[in-house]
Structure 1
Amino acid sequence: MRAFRITLPSAERYWTVVDDEYRIVGDVDEYLRHLRFGHDAAESTTKAYAESLTLYLRWCEHTQRDWRTAAERLGAFATWLRHTPIDPEAPLIGPGLPEVRGPGRINRILAAVRGFLRHSVAVGTAPPEVLAMLFEVSDNRHLPVEAGGEDGALHYMARPRHRLSEPETGVDRATDEEALALLGACRSARDRFIVVAMARAGLRRGELCGLRREDIHFVADASGLGCTMSGSHLHVRRRVNINGAWAKSRRPRAVPVDDLLVLAYDTYVFERDRCRPARECDFVLVNLFHPPLGSPMRPGAIIELLTGLSRRAHLSRRVHPHQLRHGFASDVLDAGGSIDEAQQLLGHARAASTQVYAHPSAQRLRDAVERVAALNRDGVSR
């Protein structure tokens, strides 16, 4: 069993699972197509799920279990994941040997398996009793009245039966000093534009690599471009892109930008125009220094770039693209912006998602305490 990428005639791509003779595993393929096109999931999501389901099917094959009902031994599968190497030819291995996967990775694999089996029950290819193997169902009938909800109705809750405890690590923000160090380590105008776009506009790497030239409205009045938003800004839109770039949100959004980002883009355009193959490409970010010249940059290349920049800048850690996005959100809030403003800029559907990006600076925390102290002093003086 292995994960395998499928390209459709429409140029859309998704990942599926094939056996050793490259025959598609029908039930898994149906689920992954449903995930990709029915739920509008990213190609990278189907890749992660295909790899996870490959492991599940391989375990079922090794242990001679039917994948439809093997959920009753999902705890044994988690143990197998913890100790079995990635090598597909590896034998069954149990506790006592070094761990090869951490709790977070195992939980993500289990989540993919639960999604597949839940879908299989819904379409009738797995028996309904599988759900009881996957989830522990409870209700709110024994909760205190105050905790039962305003409507007083009976509500049911399903909790996964198999989930490993994970340490709370969270994603840290990139500091302003780290962002400046990354800029100083850049060797091209394109790379400087990439760092500034993530640090000053909060773009995800998939959104950045999916930008087209028509999305850039770095003019005072964009009405001539058919846009009603004033001031320099860019548009983030979900599209099917040949480089695998994917905008996470279904809703398009316009992101205002500052003069630094406009300057970084203008400088990059001059550099880009010197590459003849790039002139015909509609993508903003293109390969300028290695083949295939002029082709769209891959989202994975952004990670490779920041890894190299972090090393060249002699930073104490590798800065990840998402840490620059967290830094942008924190800067918005530190500058007095509200949660709903940060939510719109980041493209979050819920404010709760934006709250995770709030990393108050030490000075902002100090100011909050001082305001409380000042209020108490004023109250005593009266």
Structure 2
Amino acid sequence: MDAFLVRMPSGSRYWTVVDDELQVMPVADRYLRDLRFGRSRAELTTKSYAGAIALYLRWCRRTGRDWSTAAGDMGLFIVWLKYSSAGASQIVVAGPGVDPVRRERRINGVLTGVRGFLAHAVAAKAAPGWVLGQIYEIASTQDLPLEAQGEDAGIGYRLGARHRLQEPEVEVNRASDEEIVALLHACRSARDRLIVLLMARVGLRVGQLAGLRRCDAHLMVDSRILGCDVEGPHLHVVRRQNPNTAWSKRRSSIWFPVDFLVVQAFDQYVYERHEFLGIDGSDFLLVNLFRPPLGSPVTPDAVGELVERLARRANLDRHLTPHMLRRAFGSNVADAGGSLDEVQRLLGQKDPRSPRPYLRPDVRRLRAAVGRVPSPREHGEETR
């Protein structure tokens, strides 16, 4: 069993699961197609889920289990995931000192895809209904944090994952201001500087950045001329089917304010783009200027390669990723006095808990916070 990329006649793509004879697994294929086109999930999501389902079906085949009822042995599947490589032809018995093949985060990702597949199979009558009780447990919404319970104080119920490994807490990393400046100095074109600023000063994800169209940039002080009610310079991010596989995670469109540095970088890039392409090129905002096919939209992978290349050129002593620039933006907003709801909106996140991993306070802000705490002596003087 393996994941397989499918290209539809319309140009849309999704990932499915095939066996060794390249025969499609029907139930998995229906689930993944519904995930991609019915629920409008990203192509990369179907790739991740197809890989997870393929691992589950491979385990079932090698252990002689029926995939539709093997959920009762999910604990054994987790052990297999932890210690067996994808290409292993035999079941591996783990002993003391054996290093795991997959860590907790990766295993939890596989379990998420398998749970969705089995729930779909139950709904499609391809698996018995009791399987749901093996992969989910009923939990009260009152167990959720207050921020996630909503305004309705009534008791509700939700399905909680029965199998989930405890992931070790890892400090979220961010790019420092010095590293961002070094990246900007390492840029050799206005386009590259704009890409860095859109991540470090606007907080865009790679998929949002690579999917921008020229009509999404409203950089005039008064956007009413363009038929837009948003005040000040800003960008609109819209979910679209893009040929460069760029994809916005948000289903609804959202706008992001931009400052004078980004507006200035836009102006320089527009001049550079016209110098190389004239009026040619696609409607995408960020396009290839220095390698063929000229004028075609940059891809999300190309943005990651650019950041990596700039970090090497700047002689930075560690590896940087585009997401570290986004984290830097969220942390800098908080360091400048931004509230949690402001950070949440500027990062384009709906869940009030989502921005918390992005916030890595500056050491000076932490010291200032301690300095604002009154001493016991001051309390004593007030009570006299």
CA displacement, residues 146-171 of structure 1 (integer Å, 9 cap, x when unaligned): xxx99997765654333223211142
Deviates more, 1:232-241 or 1:309-318: 309-318
2:371 is matched with which residue?
370
Q: Mapping of 1:284-303 within 5 angstroms?
A: 284-303=285-304
Checking the alignment, whether the CA contact within 8 Å between 2:281 and 2:287 is kept in structure 1 is no
Checking the alignment, whether the CA contact within 8 Å between 1:278 and 1:288 is kept in structure 2 is no
Checking the alignment, whether the CA contact within 8 Å between 1:237 and 1:253 is kept in structure 2 is yes
How far does residue 378 in structure 1 lie from its aligned partner after superposition? 6.8
Checking the alignment, whether the CA contact within 8 Å between 2:197 and 2:262 is kept in structure 1 is yes
CA displacement, residues 119-172 of structure 1 (integer Å, 9 cap, x when unaligned): 21122211011122223446699xxxxxxx999977656543332232111422
Does 2:263 align with 1:259? no
Deviates more, 1:367-376 or 1:165-174: 367-376
Does 2:102 align with 1:101? yes
Checking the alignment, whether the CA contact within 8 Å between 2:281 and 2:294 is kept in structure 1 is no
1:304 is matched with which residue?
305
Q: Distance in 2 between the 1:25 and 1:214 partners? A: 42
Structure 1 residues 380 and 185, CA gap change in structure 2 (3 angstroms): same
Structure 1 residues 156 and 277, CA gap change in structure 2 (3 angstroms): same
How far does residue 208 in structure 1 lie from its aligned partner after superposition? 0.2
2:194 is matched with which residue?
193
Checking the alignment, whether the CA contact within 8 Å between 2:172 and 2:360 is kept in structure 1 is no
Deviates more, 1:22-31 or 1:151-160: 151-160
Does 2:65 align with 1:29? no
1:86 is matched with which residue?
86
Checking the alignment, whether the CA contact within 8 Å between 1:278 and 1:294 is kept in structure 2 is no
2:67 is matched with which residue?
67
CA displacement, residues 224-246 of structure 1 (integer Å, 9 cap, x when unaligned): 21112222111111111111111
Deviates more, 1:272-281 or 1:27-36: 272-281
Checking the alignment, whether the CA contact within 8 Å between 2:16 and 2:47 is kept in structure 1 is yes
1:113 is matched with which residue?
114
Percent of aligned pairs with the same amino acid: 51
Checking the alignment, whether the CA contact within 8 Å between 2:42 and 2:247 is kept in structure 1 is yes
1:42 is matched with which residue?
42
> Aligned pairs, how many?
376
How far does residue 304 in structure 1 lie from its aligned partner after superposition? 1.6
Give the partner amino acid of 2:63.
T
How far does residue 117 in structure 1 lie from its aligned partner after superposition? 0.7
CA displacement, residues 23-48 of structure 1 (integer Å, 9 cap, x when unaligned): 22110011112212232211111110
2:129 is matched with which residue?
128
Deviates more, 1:57-66 or 1:349-358: 349-358
Gaps of 5+ in 1: 142-148
Secondary structure of 2:271's aligned partner = helix
Checking the alignment, whether the CA contact within 8 Å between 2:236 and 2:253 is kept in structure 1 is yes
Q: Distance in 1 between the 2:133 and 2:202 partners? A: 45
Q: What TM-score do you get using the length of structure 2 for normalisation?
A: 0.89
Structure 1 residues 137 and 349, CA gap change in structure 2 (3 angstroms): closer
Q: What TM-score do you get using the length of structure 1 for normalisation?
A: 0.90
Give the partner amino acid of 2:183.
L
Gaps of 5+ in 2: 143-149
Give the partner amino acid of 2:372.
R
1:319 is matched with which residue?
320
Give the partner amino acid of 1:92.
I
1:214 is matched with which residue?
215
Checking the alignment, whether the CA contact within 8 Å between 2:286 and 2:297 is kept in structure 1 is yes
Q: Distance in 1 between the 2:141 and 2:35 partners? A: 31
Structure 1 residues 139 and 359, CA gap change in structure 2 (3 angstroms): closer
Secondary structure of 2:256's aligned partner = strand
Give the partner amino acid of 2:352.
A
Structure 1 residues 230 and 114, CA gap change in structure 2 (3 angstroms): same
Secondary structure of 2:374's aligned partner = helix
How far does residue 256 in structure 1 lie from its aligned partner after superposition? 1.1
Structure 1 residues 123 and 362, CA gap change in structure 2 (3 angstroms): same
Give the partner amino acid of 2:70.
A
> What RMSD over aligned residues (CA atoms) do the two structures have, in Å?
2.8
